[in-house]
Every structure is written in C-alpha cells, then in structure tokens.
Amino acid sequence: MAFDLLLFGGTVVTPYGTQPLDVGVRHGRIVALGDLAAESAAERLDCAGLHVLPGLIDSQVHLREPGLEHKEDLGTGTAAAALGGITAVFEMPNTRPNTDTAERLADKVARGRAKAWTDFAFFVGATHENAEALGELELLPGCAGVKIFMGSSTGNLLVADDETLRRALACGQRRVSVHCEDEPRLLERRPLVDVEGATAHLHPVWRDEETALRATTRLLRLARETGRRVHVLHVTTAEEAALLAEHKDVATMEVLPQHLVLHAPDCYDRLGTYAQMNPPIRERRHQDALWAAVASGVVDVMGSDHAPHTREEKDAGYPKSPSGLVGVQTTVPLMLNAVSEGRLSLERFVDLMAHGPQRVFGIASKGRVAVGYDADFTLVDLTREHVITHEEQASRAGWTPFAGTKVRGWPVRTIVRGHSVMIEGQLQGAPTGQPVRFVEALGAG
C-alpha cells in the first residue's frame, strides 16, 4: 500500500489507548494504522521518541476583524495556534459590535481560506435582533454554533435577560456555548472598582463567585425548559463545577489553562492587569476544585480563550484595561508540563483538546487518530524542556502571562490534513486552512 505520508516509529494516542503504531495517510485522511514501516510513501516521517497526538483543537479563541489588524487577524492568530501545536481553532464573535449575518460569516470563511494556517470555524453571536435567525445561522458552512454572552462584552453581543435568552435557546438544535456571568449583579457591583487607586486585585471581587453561579443556574433552568443542550465556557468556581456535575445530560463544561495554572492573589501581585480576564482568576480553592473536576471527568473541553489585547491597552490601568489573556500558543506546553508533573495524564489531555471537542461540538472527521479521519496530528516531545518567552509569541499582542515559565514537554510539529504547517518552531509553506465541518450541519443549505 502506497501512502502520501507515513508516520512511523512513534507512540500514538488513539481512542483505544497509547501504543507504538504507524499511521498511513492518503489524500489528507488517515487510511491505515498498524505496523506499516515497510510500506512505501512519498514522505516518511520518523517519529522515534515522539508522541503522536490527534490534532489538538482550541475551541475558544478571540481574533480580530479588518481595521484592527494591529491587534490580531486570522493570519497571526492561527500562526500562533500552529506554533503551539493546535490544528484547528473556533473563533468567538465578540470582535465587532454588529449582529452576525450569513453574509458576514461567509466573508469570514473566505478570509480564513486565504489567511489561516490551521483549520477554523466561527461562532455566531446571539443578540436581541437575531435570536429568531440563529437556527438558520448555526447550519451555515464554517459555523461552530451559537455563542451567548450573559455578562457584558463587546457592543450589542449581550443577552442579559431571561426572555431573550429563552428565545435564543428555543431557536435551533445545536449545542449553545455560553459565557455565564450575571449582568444585573455586575452592574450592581461595578461601584466596587470605580474607586481611586483600584487595582486588578479587585477584579475577582467585582465579578465574584455569586455572579458566575447565578448565571449558570439561570442557564441550566432555561436549558431544561427549552430542551436545548448548552456548553458552559471557562468555568472558574468550585460551586459551578459541583452544580454542572449534576446536569451532565444537558450541559458540558470547559476550563482554561489560565485558571489551572494561575491563582489569586499571586497572579495579580506579579502580573497586575496582565492577569485580568473574565471570568476572573480566583483563589486556590477554586483552582483545586477545577483540577478535581478535570480528574473526575466532569470537564469536557479545554480552550485557551486567547484574547490578544496590546500592552498599551493592558497598561491603561484598572478598570479601564480590557479583560483577556494571550494563550493559544502556550496552552499545549503548559498542559504537557502538567503531564510531566503527574497532575494530568496524556490521555486525559488528549480527551480535553481532541476527543472532547469532537464529541461536544459534533466535529466531522477530526479529533481522533482513526481510519477515515482527517490527518491532523500534534507531535510532541514529552522530554523537551523550554522557557516560554514574550519574543517567541506569534500573536501581534507580543506578550504572554507565562513568560519565564519553564515547561517540560513541547510541540515539535503540527500537521493539518497531511501537511506539516509547523516544524520545530518554524511555519512551513503558505496558509492552507479550511473550514471545519460539523455533523449536525452536513447537507444543510
């Protein structure tokens, strides 16, 4: 059997376990697994000493639109992803204050084809204006689903009241991703930070645990009322993790590496506004609860919530400084380091960033090393040690909260549909990203 690409000699993480295995690729798809070293191939890739993971998927990133390229665009954002071992990204919609439409989504997909180093998909944002159109929008090519902000974000992308939330949940069938912070409580508590001498230490005081728990509780009630599946993004509190464990039939859950690696007040002491994000990084008891939720299987997905705010913006002073951390390039190294420390198994990490996204979002033909799936792979060296720096970040933001952090475990090659887009920290060729396909939208339109 002749292959276009043969990965041989490596240790492969499959849905059935981790084992020495060769992988044969033809026309961008996996066509064979087994002892294939003697087979012919146009390209042979010796993976000795490496672990071959299914292509890792970052299902929550924030990139930028035309006119704001000084901050980020699909090219720089996906370059950072590829350098970090990510093969596909799902972009969130809070990048411009206007309502998503079919035309706007089609334009994003066209720009993705021209500029993206990885494969990609886009969430559409729910608003008061488009709630009844969401059922059609969620089926368009390149759409990852619907995103709802229950707490303040950009422009009109805010669904703060139960009536609009109910309308949005009632229209459509795919799982809805939700940022759970209670807007009325945020408005009520805003004076806590509008004081002279305020610092980022006040951020988790303003956006406290109750703010998150109230929104998640409201969401679960309305999800059951409307019969709609929901995905709760960037969970930060012990109370939410415990609540969501009781509602796994209707709700899935995401955690971020920031909340697993950083904790208050230390992060605000060291980083100030460069640790400011929504929902906030909280104290150790919440961090410990999130790790426990990862270990118990309650957590379904890990994303980066990459938000490429500039140093100038972050240096504006709290609370004028925007919330959000740069992260798409550092998620994989940080979690491989957690693997080396024994906090996380490699198989569980793969579940969080490949098998989990495939299940939660119904991704077609991605997220597994299995025959018939896209030939997306993240090759990692679990013994490689590296110190993360600001200078190596491809994001136009040019900084990372993890600068100076020494990690053990590093992505050395990123392969998308059989093509190496990153080798040893260098991008290869030209962008060839394609829209991700989803099972529930196949054949629509």
Measured distance CA(57)–CA(445) in Å, rounded: 26
Residues ≥6 apart with Cβ < 8 Å to 209: 237, 239, 282, 286
Strand bridging mode 3-14 / 41-46: parallel
Selected residue with higher pLDDT from 196 and 129: 196
pLDDT band at 368 (very low <50, low <70, confident <90, very high): very high
Q: What is the pLDDT of residue 157?
A: 78
Give the tens place of pLDDT for each residue, 19-43. 999 999 999 999 999 999 999 999 9
Question: CA distances (Å), 147 to each of 93, 165, 175, 231, 362, in order?
Answer: 7, 11, 9, 9, 16
pLDDT band at 156 (very low <50, low <70, confident <90, very high): low
Residue 292, pLDDT > 80, answer yes
What does R_g of the chain's alpha carbons equal in angstroms? 21
| % of the chain beyond a pLDDT of 70 | 96
Q: What is the pLDDT of residue 231?
A: 98
pTM, entire model: 0.97
Average pLDDT over residues 47-75: 87
Q: What is the pLDDT of residue 64?
A: 72
Average pLDDT over residues 42-51: 98
Concatenated DSSP letters for 272-291? Answer: GGGG--SSPP-BHHHHHHHH
Catalytic residue of the set 208, 305, 376, 381: 305
Measured distance CA(140)–CA(164) in Å, rounded: 22
pLDDT band at 390 (very low <50, low <70, confident <90, very high): very high
Q: What is the pLDDT of residue 96?
A: 54
Which residue type does 153 have? S
Give the tens place of pLDDT for each residue, 246-280. 999 999 999 999 999 999 999 999 999 999 999 99
List domains and CATH numbers for the chain.
Answer: 3-52+371-430 (2.30.40.10), 56-361 (3.20.20.140)
Q: Is position 119 annotated as part of the catalytic site?
A: no
Q: What is the pLDDT of residue 68?
A: 60
pLDDT band at 72 (very low <50, low <70, confident <90, very high): confident
